[in-house]
Amino acid sequence: ALASQNAGHTTLFAVLTPNLLVKPVTLIAPKVTIKNMRQAELAFGPAQYAIAKAVADSVAEGVIPKELVDDIVIICGLFIHPAAKDPDKVYQYNYEAVKLAIKRAFGYEPKIDEILEKKDVVEHPFYKRK
């Protein structure tokens, strides 16, 4: 991902501040093309910090075991709506999403029985079958 960057989709590491990489090393992959400085500032500012803080807090809280931090890597997709403007909301939404994703991943959730139970009854929010 770092060796083959694409315009508007620059992958980046999660850092708490410059030169303080979070552990486990976390690679952030933007899902929406970054087209201007406002969008870049949201991705490289509040979103990057939120992701790094969520990872660090997950280690501090024991969700991610400290003894694993040098042995695993997290790959985190980043979605920021192109019309987003509020850096505090970008931070909040990304922090909460990453904390939940980590909790679920390290808790082996969802369980396979839940997936099998719901696979034919749930609906995707962006696609409705006819």
String of DSSP letters for 8-34: TB--EE-EEETTEE-SSEEEEEESS--
Please check the confidence at residue 53 and state whether its pLDDT lies above 90.
yes
Block residue for tokens 């960057």: 5
CATH superfamily of the domain spanning 12-118: Formaldehyde-activating enzyme (3.30.230.60)
Please check the confidence at residue 15 and state whether its pLDDT lies above 60.
yes
Among candidate residues 77, 32, 33, the one with its CA nearest the CA of residue 51: 77
- Measured CA to CA, the distance from residue 26 to residue 75 in angstroms comes to 6
| Averaged pLDDT of the chain | 93
Residues 27 and 75: beta-carbon distance below 8 Å: yes
Q: What is the pLDDT of residue 128?
A: 87
pLDDT in tens, 74-99: 999 999 999 999 999 999 999 999 99
Higher local confidence (pLDDT), 112 or 8: 112
Please check the confidence at residue 10 and state whether its pLDDT lies above 80.
no
Please check the confidence at residue 27 and state whether its pLDDT lies above 90.
yes
Higher local confidence (pLDDT), 57 or 35: 57
Q: Among residues of the chain, what percentage have pLDDT more than 90?
A: 85
Q: What is the pLDDT of residue 130?
A: 83
